[in-house]
Amino acid sequence: MHLTGARVLITGAGSGLGRRMALEAAGLGAELVVWDLNALAGERVAEEIRTLGGRASAQAVDVTDSGAVSSAAEEAGAVDVLINNAGVVTGKRLLEASEAQIRRTFEVNALALYWTTRAFLPGMLERGRGKVVTIASAAGLIGVAKQTDYSASKWAAMGFAESLRAELRKDRAPVSTLVVAPYYIDTGMFDGVRTKWPLVLPILQERDVARRVVDAIERDRLQLVMPPFLRVQPIGRMLPVVAWDWLADLLGVNDTMDEFTGRQAVEHQERTPQP
Ligand SMILES: NC(=O)c1ccc[n+]([C@@H]2O[C@H](COP(=O)([O-])OP(=O)(O)OC[C@H]3O[C@@H](n4cnc5c(N)ncnc54)[C@H](O)[C@@H]3O)[C@@H](O)[C@H]2O)c1
């Protein structure tokens, strides 16, 4: 789908990858609707786009609140592309994370996909045009230590995206999907993570990932896995578990989070839209 003249809504676009994708899409002539829990951050991104000569508006929305999502969607109006990008990580061992943190991870990374997509899909079907993008994660392909909640929520996101595509295909609906599974990105979300083999599993650059996603939207690709090495994952899945464990140890994937201290210390703040 060409982005020139398209209306693109990105959740969690107040920072990181969401902000960068918004800037890239605006650069191609799309009109942006910036959603973020943090009102100030969202407004800043919309302002940044307008300063650069683009078109953008912002709305403070907690995507876990289905009622708030449907009212904000009504206010936003029709969109051609919905990018489900908002995400959170706990980065704690199973016994260290609080119940509230675990619930929050699933609410934002998995359940919210239902509320936003259900809000915008009817309009896309009615207008005979649309694309739903799911920003999942490599953690949705490979389970990693200290990520039981994050990884499981991203597996759910991958499953959501795949089932949605199957449903739309079966109904011959005029709406397409794209699912994105990147390894770690330098946005700060996973501050302190390490990679053992940077040549095959590099820490990705935010700008590069954003460009690749926007390009995949324009080329109507269905799936984007980054870096390409991660495409070996289905082979790993077919191996006996001990062989998979051996490969994971060789790649050091379970050690990546050793020095990661987690991002949900401000859990309460995340629940309340910031001024
Ligand atoms: N950073 C990585 O290493 C990495 C790797 C793979 C996938 N991802 C995924 O990419 C996406 C973007 O991550 P990022 O690195 O840019 O993170 P980030 O923390 O920089 O940005 C996430 C944004 O989502 C917003 N947000 C959080 N909860 C929200 C809610 N309930 N409602 C609305 N907005 C909310 C935050 O305010 C923030 O602006 C996430 O889905 C993440 O899981 C990130």
Report which protein residue has its CA nearest ligand 1's atom 43.
Answer: 87
175: in domain: yes
14: in domain: yes
- Check: pTM over 0.85? Answer yes or no: yes
Segments forming the whole domain that contains residue 249? 7-271
Whichever domain contains 49, its CATH number is 3.40.50.720
2: in domain: no
Residue 244 has a pLDDT of 87
pLDDT exceeds 80 at position 62: yes
Residue 263 has a pLDDT of 67
Residue 273 has a pLDDT of 43
176: in domain: yes
How far apart are the C-alpha atoms of 93 and 138, rounded to whole Å? 18
Number of folded domains in the chain? 1
Q: Would the CB of 256 count as within 6 Å of ligand 1?
A: no
1: in domain: no
pLDDT exceeds 60 at position 267: no
Q: Would the CB of 86 count as within 6 Å of ligand 1?
A: yes
Report which protein residue has its CA nearest ligand 1's atom 30.
Answer: 62
Instruction: Dump pLDDT digits (tens) for 205-242.
Output: 999 999 999 999 999 999 999 999 998 887 878 889 99
Q: Would the CB of 88 count as within 6 Å of ligand 1?
A: yes
Mutating to test ligand 1, I would choose from 15, 142, 189, 195 the residue with most ligand atoms within 8 A of its C-beta, which is 189
Model confidence at 82, pLDDT cuts 50, 70, 90, reads very high
Residue 260 has a pLDDT of 85
Please say if 150 is a catalytic residue. yes
Q: Across all residues in the chain, what is the average pLDDT?
A: 93
Share of the chain above pLDDT 70, in %: 95
Q: Mean per-residue pLDDT for 70-94?
A: 97
Q: Which atom of ligand 1 is nearest to the CA of 38?
A: 37
Residue 261 has a pLDDT of 76
136: in domain: yes
116: in domain: yes
pLDDT exceeds 50 at position 265: no
Residue 142 has a pLDDT of 87
Residue 269 has a pLDDT of 45
